[in-house]
Structure 1
């Protein structure tokens, strides 16, 4: 409990209330030529009476459908009905819509390198088409849009400054306004979850992967910026994700290519790394993303935080009181693939406390492994339901269980890169120090 007290004290010092890597690395992993798992459901026309409410939807789902909800893959192509050899190799079906209908994933994430981002009207058509393929339980459609160095939807969206520039202004209201502007533009495109803000405190100036993506190097200044950004995303109706727990700010290794080790003691973690995450939880952040980093003084097993029950369940859930969605960082990154196979990584992440498995390099292997773990009891049905319930609650909170969202391309063209948002970008840059 001393950890909580220290974290709360740190947030109080920053004026922020406390509560009890980026995806997109180069594609890794090959196609699995083995037989595909049975489809979660056979694609059919939408039912005339759809279950309403989280518990009703949960009760209506098969085990296969529940396992599908745990995954957020990358799909390939510019349209839901685009035929792609990459989709065929990875999923055994040739279009994004067929993949969604077959496996019923909880969501998908968009990337330019996957051919998902060409133009405003194209992205709108893609997201509408993907939602149409999942009429029973609408999708989380995510982007890794931090702004600045990590801007997966550029040049469609406003070129807003990154976190370090906003942090240098010392004004959390600008973090809130920037997040709201980004959220408004994402929502117009049909994106409903952003993997932002970065809650890391960039303590190490040689950090090769965080650096300017963080709001700064002082947790007392970073925490209110993170809290303000979460509020801004919520103002826009977008789900926000604080990342990368328990903190990726003091690394000299990029977890895309290696496995960083951070030697912070529990007391150092509580003082340096935890406050921005506590601040995000205090603003009801929807999701928190794990880091592929080893913190031996928090968990001596040598496993990265993504696979660590003492960190994800012990620290994040039990000590910081977070009961939202825990997302892994991208599972195709080298930092999480050092010790275990891709199927075992997915199972271990769920058992550690994760709910959402982001970008598994071999989808079919990971899906089969998790389904087999549930069927054998290695992952209990109660544990499975915990994760699916959290995902459904997130969708309900953002209005996604009421009806599948449909976005208007003309409205998107009006909103994106608006004069108001470009003026905000200029204002932030003018106040940066």
Structure 2
């Protein structure tokens, strides 16, 4: 068990110096260098190693006793986990495994309690990419995600969306966002990136990545900004497998990587990104050892040496299968540090991981000077983003800062500019008048109902793989409809969704097909009217309804090339 050996004052966030510890590397010059060097000089080895870890927690309150914490950490509450291990950061989730999220005020109270339990101010992080990876839902302001922003082509919109997200996160005590996703989605069958990417075009992805880094991070020491994290280095866009479940291979040479995957990371670095997250992918033409990038010095040398990055490098979750195939869990943190990583995210067993790093230092496998370099980067990030001075948030101000009418209106305006009209050969759109009996069917229980409400119609969800009975029911219901809207998600891989759309087209009713996730669906049926939203969230459905009824003209352009039986080029998009 780690014991805090020094105390950090909340107001000053400085550590009492201890001459027994190794002197930090020379950091004269950069803003805050003297302060963070002084902090480092006063830290014990245990505290330094703690700063290298970012952990999950179980529970929604700092003092909530949760069996998951007892199982994983040996203590009952989230605050006790922080007090015991003194990690550099924590990460919030909204799933059944960790379940940290309920309301904005609850999140803020959890953040405050965890900060009180930590000697050194915490980086409190989250994956709030928006779109399909969104941890905090309404009433927080929602945006449609990266590929939708890529379709909108506006760096101003991308920057503003990130700025609004950052302001709301910071009001809840979250000061680091593991976003933006800087991957170039060059493989249409990519199962894990897809619409999390801005584009298949490196230049467009780079422009959008830089814009969102600027939006998240704001001005120096801003109390309303968060640290951004560009991910997943060296680029997860050309994979056909998911690193959560396996170790994908990317067959890029260095030259191909420079041209196809590096531009968004280069742009993020130029924009001053605070941290970059590694990918659990192997690149045998760059590192023949087969090690995942997270543990590969040749791959991470591309980041440190070729791109000249000196910020925080953090791993993707160390619980993912992609990083656990070649080594036991106790070895992975040490190997990652040797490769050039600074922070280790979500190790399977935090005590095993911490003790493995401590043992490596005490046994000479890692030097304390090497640990100091990483800790210095972490402390510098915390200083630059104002984490050291602004630990507590005002619970009474959360409601007035999260999901404000102004933010919601801006989110809607931005989303209006992302809807893409891919095909309208039958001239169905825009509708001459608002429908009186619209039928919304296809994928998504909540999504079909949200759109049906916006159109004043009826929802008949049929799921990802409609049964014959569900298809027949949709065809029968269409008899009473003046327009039928069919939502698809993964239609290119789902014959039953294609059957549903084909049968509804055969009725002779006006049919509008909508790809509500990956736009690749549009190439796989003969539907004469196709739209793409890149997101199935409520704000996207509201904008979609406005486009269908003619209230808003579609201005989005495909941010990816769409292959298939009826292909569409990058940049295609119609208007009316």
Q: Structure 1-normalised TM-score? A: 0.88
Q: 1:107 to 1:271 in 2, by over 3 A?
A: same
List per-residue Cα deviations over 1:174-232 (Å, max 9, x = no partner).
11011001001100000000000010000000000000000010001110100000000
Q: Distance in 2 between matches of 1:144 and 1:248?
A: 16
Residues in 1 aligned to 2:10 and 2:124: alpha-carbon distance in whole angstroms: 23
Aligned residue among 159, 162, 165 for 1:176: 159
Q: For 1:196-345, what aligned pairs fall within 5 Å after superposition?
A: 196-235=179-218, 236-312=224-300, 314-345=301-332
Q: Secondary structure at the match of 1:342?
A: coil
Distance in 1, Cα, partners of 2:122 & 2:254: 37
Q: CA deviation at 1:268?
A: 0.8
Bigger helix fraction = 1
State the distance in 1 between where 2:5 and 2:74 align: 15
Bigger CA drift: 88-97 or 247-256? 88-97
For the pair shown, the structure with the greater C-alpha radius of gyration is 2
Alignment of 1:85-100 (within 5 A): 85-100=67-82
Task: Note if contact 2:141-2:403 (Cα within 8 Å) is conserved in structure 1.
Answer: yes
CA distance in 2, matches of 1:44, 1:344: 31
- By relative contact order (CA 8 Å, sep 6+), the higher-ranking structure is 1
Map of 1:420 onto structure 2 = 406
Tell me the secondary structure at the aligned position of residue 230 of structure 2.
Answer: strand
Instruction: From 143, 146, 159, give the equivalent of 2:142.
Output: 159
Q: Which residue of 1 aligns with 2:379?
A: 392
Determine whether 1:115 maps to 2:99.
Answer: yes
Any idea what the Cα deviations from partners look like across 1:72-119, whole Å, max 9, x if unmatched?
010111111111111111111111111111111000000112121011
Measure, in 2, the Cα distance between the counterparts of 1:322 and 1:336: 23
1:324 and 1:335 mapped to 2: Cα distance? Answer: 24
Any idea what SS the aligned residue of 2:331 has?
Answer: helix
Is the contact between residue 8 and residue 120 of structure 2 (CA under 8 Å) also seen in structure 1? no
CA contact (8 A) 1:109 1:143 kept: yes
Instruction: Confirm or deny: 8 A CA contact 2:53 2:344 kept in the other structure.
Output: yes
Corresponding residue to 2:394 among 393, 408, 413: 408
C-alpha separation in 2, matches of 1:289 and 1:47: 29
Give yes or no for contact 2:10–2:391 (8 Å, CA) kept in 1: no
CA distance in 1, matches of 2:168, 2:211: 18
- What CA distance in whole angstroms lies between the structure 2 residues aligned with 1:351 and 1:75? 27
Partner Cα distance (1:306, 1:57) in 2 = 28
CA distance in 1, matches of 2:365, 2:171: 41
In the alignment, which residue of structure 2 is the partner of 1:75? Answer: 57
Residue aligning to 2:356:
369
Secondary structure of the 2:124 match is: strand
Paired with 2:407 and 2:225, the residues of 1 have a C-alpha distance of: 17
**1:45 shift after superposition:** 9.2
After superposition, the Cα gap between the structure-2 partners of 1:48 and 1:146, relative to the gap in structure 1 and judged at 3 Å, is closer
1:104 is matched with 86
Q: Give distance in 2, aligned partners of 1:251 and 1:397.
A: 34
Q: Which residue of 2 aligns with 1:25?
A: none
- Cα distance in 2 for residues equivalent to 1:421 and 1:254: 34
Aligned partner of residue 208 in structure 2, secondary structure: helix
Offset of residue 158 of structure 1: 1.1
SS in 2 for 1:311: helix
User: RMSD of the TM alignment (CA)?
Assistant: 1.6
How far apart in 2 are the matches of 1:333 and 1:157?
A: 29
Flag the 1:57–1:92 CA change in 2: closer, same or farther, 3 A.
Answer: same
What is the TM-score normalised by the length of structure 2?
0.67
- How far apart in 2 are the matches of 1:43 and 1:120? 32
Report the counterpart of residue 39 of structure 1 in structure 2: 2
Instruction: Say whether residues 1:124 and 2:124 are aligned partners.
Output: no
Determine the C-alpha separation between the residues in 2 that align with 1:303 and 1:210: 21
**Distance (Å, rounded) in 1 between the aligned partners of 2:399 and 2:289:** 50
Q: Which runs of 5+ in 2 are unaligned?
A: 16-33, 219-223, 419-555, 557-576
Asked if structure 2 preserves the Cα contact closer than 8 Å seen for 1:255 and 1:293, the reply is yes
Aligned counterpart in structure 2 of residue 66 of structure 1, from 34, 44, 48: 48
Structure 1 position 149, deviation (Å) = 0.4
Give the conservation status (yes or no) of the 8 Å contact 1:201–1:217.
yes
**1:45-83 Cα distance to aligned partner (Å, 9 max, x none):** 959984381011101011111111111010111111111
How far is 1:40 from its partner? 3.6
Equivalents in 2 of 1:215, 1:242: separation in Å? 12
CA distance in 2, matches of 1:208, 1:218: 18
Separation of aligned partners in 2, 1:307 and 1:183: 30
SS of the counterpart of 1:300? coil
Q: Which runs of 4+ in 1 moved over 3 A?
A: 42-52
SS state at 2:356 partner: helix
Q: Secondary structure at the match of 1:112?
A: coil
Aligned to 2:117: 133
- 2:59 and 2:99 in contact (8 A); partners too: yes
Q: Deviations over 1:130-185 (max 9, x none)?
A: 00111x31000001000000001113421111000000011111110110010011
Report the counterpart of residue 359 of structure 1 in structure 2: 346
Check conservation: 1:42, 1:101, Cα contact below 8 A: no
Instruction: After TM superposition, give the deviation of residue 422 of structure 1 in Å.
Output: 1.3
